[in-house]
Protein backbone atom coordinates (compact mmCIF):
# COMPACT_ATOMS: atom_id res chain seq x y z
CA UNK A 1 0.00 0.00 0.00
CA UNK A 2 1.31 3.46 -0.89
CA UNK A 3 2.23 5.69 2.01
CA UNK A 4 0.87 9.20 2.34
CA UNK A 5 3.21 12.20 2.45
CA UNK A 6 2.64 12.37 6.21
CA UNK A 7 3.56 8.70 6.68
CA UNK A 8 6.69 9.16 4.57
CA UNK A 9 7.67 12.20 6.65
CA UNK A 10 7.13 10.26 9.88
CA UNK A 11 9.16 7.32 8.60
CA UNK A 12 12.04 9.40 7.26
CA UNK A 13 12.16 11.79 10.23
CA UNK A 14 12.04 8.97 12.75
CA UNK A 15 14.81 7.00 11.08
CA UNK A 16 16.90 10.11 10.35
CA UNK A 17 16.69 11.60 13.82
CA UNK A 18 17.67 8.31 15.50
CA UNK A 19 20.62 7.88 13.13
CA UNK A 20 21.72 11.51 13.63
CA UNK A 21 21.40 11.21 17.43
CA UNK A 22 25.05 10.17 17.79
CA UNK A 23 26.35 11.37 14.43
CA UNK A 24 25.43 9.82 11.10
CA UNK A 25 27.90 7.24 9.78
CA UNK A 26 28.29 6.17 6.14
CA UNK A 27 26.32 2.90 6.47
CA UNK A 28 23.41 4.79 8.05
CA UNK A 29 23.51 7.44 5.32
CA UNK A 30 23.33 4.71 2.67
CA UNK A 31 20.45 3.02 4.53
CA UNK A 32 18.52 6.32 4.75
CA UNK A 33 19.00 6.99 1.04
CA UNK A 34 17.88 3.44 0.19
CA UNK A 35 14.80 3.81 2.41
CA UNK A 36 13.92 7.13 0.79
CA UNK A 37 14.32 5.59 -2.65
CA UNK A 38 12.32 2.46 -1.76
CA UNK A 39 9.46 4.55 -0.34
CA UNK A 40 9.58 7.08 -3.17
CA UNK A 41 10.20 9.59 -0.38
CA UNK A 42 13.13 11.73 -1.55
CA UNK A 43 11.24 14.97 -0.84
CA UNK A 44 10.29 13.74 2.63
CA UNK A 45 13.91 12.66 3.26
CA UNK A 46 15.15 16.13 2.30
CA UNK A 47 12.47 17.61 4.58
CA UNK A 48 13.71 15.39 7.46
CA UNK A 49 17.33 16.41 6.89
CA UNK A 50 16.34 20.09 6.80
CA UNK A 51 14.32 19.58 10.01
CA UNK A 52 17.40 18.16 11.74
CA UNK A 53 19.80 20.72 10.25
CA UNK A 54 17.80 23.65 11.68
CA UNK A 55 19.32 22.81 15.07
CA UNK A 56 21.14 19.54 15.64
CA UNK A 57 21.14 20.00 19.42
CA UNK A 58 17.34 20.20 19.70
CA UNK A 59 16.53 17.98 16.69
CA UNK A 60 15.55 14.91 18.71
CA UNK A 61 13.27 16.82 21.10
CA UNK A 62 11.67 18.75 18.24
CA UNK A 63 11.19 15.53 16.26
CA UNK A 64 9.75 13.84 19.33
CA UNK A 65 7.19 16.64 19.73
CA UNK A 66 6.31 16.54 16.02
CA UNK A 67 6.02 12.74 15.94
CA UNK A 68 3.96 12.60 19.13
CA UNK A 69 1.36 14.92 17.60
CA UNK A 70 0.92 12.61 14.62
CA UNK A 71 1.61 9.15 16.01
CA UNK A 72 -0.83 9.50 18.89
CA UNK A 73 -3.57 8.84 16.33
CA UNK A 74 -1.87 5.74 14.89
CA UNK A 75 -2.99 2.24 15.82
CA UNK A 76 -0.89 0.36 18.35
CA UNK A 77 0.21 -2.02 15.58
CA UNK A 78 1.45 0.92 13.48
CA UNK A 79 3.34 2.40 16.46
CA UNK A 80 4.97 -0.98 17.10
CA UNK A 81 5.83 -1.26 13.40
CA UNK A 82 7.60 2.14 13.52
CA UNK A 83 9.59 1.25 16.65
CA UNK A 84 10.50 -2.11 15.12
CA UNK A 85 11.60 -0.44 11.88
CA UNK A 86 14.03 1.82 13.76
CA UNK A 87 15.30 -1.03 15.93
CA UNK A 88 15.94 -3.23 12.86
CA UNK A 89 17.63 -0.38 10.99
CA UNK A 90 19.96 0.25 13.92
CA UNK A 91 20.78 -3.44 14.12
CA UNK A 92 21.96 -3.45 10.49
CA UNK A 93 25.30 -2.07 11.64
CA UNK A 94 25.60 -4.84 14.22
CA UNK A 95 25.07 -2.79 17.36
CA UNK A 96 22.87 -0.12 18.93
CA UNK A 97 24.52 2.64 20.91
CA UNK A 98 23.30 3.50 24.37
CA UNK A 99 22.19 6.91 23.07
CA UNK A 100 20.15 5.32 20.27
CA UNK A 101 18.58 2.83 22.67
CA UNK A 102 17.68 5.64 25.07
CA UNK A 103 16.13 7.65 22.23
CA UNK A 104 14.07 4.67 21.08
CA UNK A 105 12.93 3.92 24.64
CA UNK A 106 11.77 7.54 25.05
CA UNK A 107 9.73 7.33 21.86
CA UNK A 108 8.33 3.91 22.75
CA UNK A 109 7.27 5.28 26.14
CA UNK A 110 5.63 8.31 24.46
CA UNK A 111 3.74 5.96 22.15
CA UNK A 112 2.86 3.50 24.91
CA UNK A 113 4.72 0.60 23.26
CA UNK A 114 7.77 0.31 25.53
CA UNK A 115 6.88 -3.28 26.51
CA UNK A 116 6.86 -4.25 22.83
CA UNK A 117 10.23 -2.55 22.22
CA UNK A 118 11.77 -4.42 25.15
CA UNK A 119 10.41 -7.68 23.72
CA UNK A 120 12.06 -6.83 20.37
CA UNK A 121 15.35 -6.11 22.11
CA UNK A 122 15.29 -9.43 23.96
CA UNK A 123 14.77 -11.47 20.76
Quote the CA–CA distance of 34 and 40 in Å, as a whole number: 10
Q: What is the mean pLDDT of residues 28-47?
A: 95
Q: What is the pLDDT of residue 5?
A: 92
Q: Which of 117, 21, 111 is nearest to 70 (CA)?
A: 111
Q: What is the pLDDT of residue 2?
A: 59
Q: What is the mean pLDDT of residues 5-9?
A: 92
Q: What is the pLDDT of residue 23?
A: 78
**In terms of residue numbers, what domain contains 42?**
5-122
* 76-101 confidence digits (pLDDT tens): 999 999 988 888 888 877 778 888 88
Q: What is the pLDDT of residue 88?
A: 85
Bigger pLDDT: 96 or 43? Answer: 43
Q: Is 74 left (phi over 0), alpha (psi -120 to 50) or beta?
A: beta
Per-residue buried b or exposed e for 49-86, using 16+ beta carbons within 10 Å of the residue's own CB: bebbeeeeeebbebbbebbeeebeebeeeebbebbeeb
Share of the chain above pLDDT 90, in %: 58
Per the structure, how many domains does the chain have?
1
Amino acid sequence: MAKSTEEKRVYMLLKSVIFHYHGLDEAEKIDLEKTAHDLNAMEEYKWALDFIAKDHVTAFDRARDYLNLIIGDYSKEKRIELVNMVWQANNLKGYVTEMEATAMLKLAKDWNVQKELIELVLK
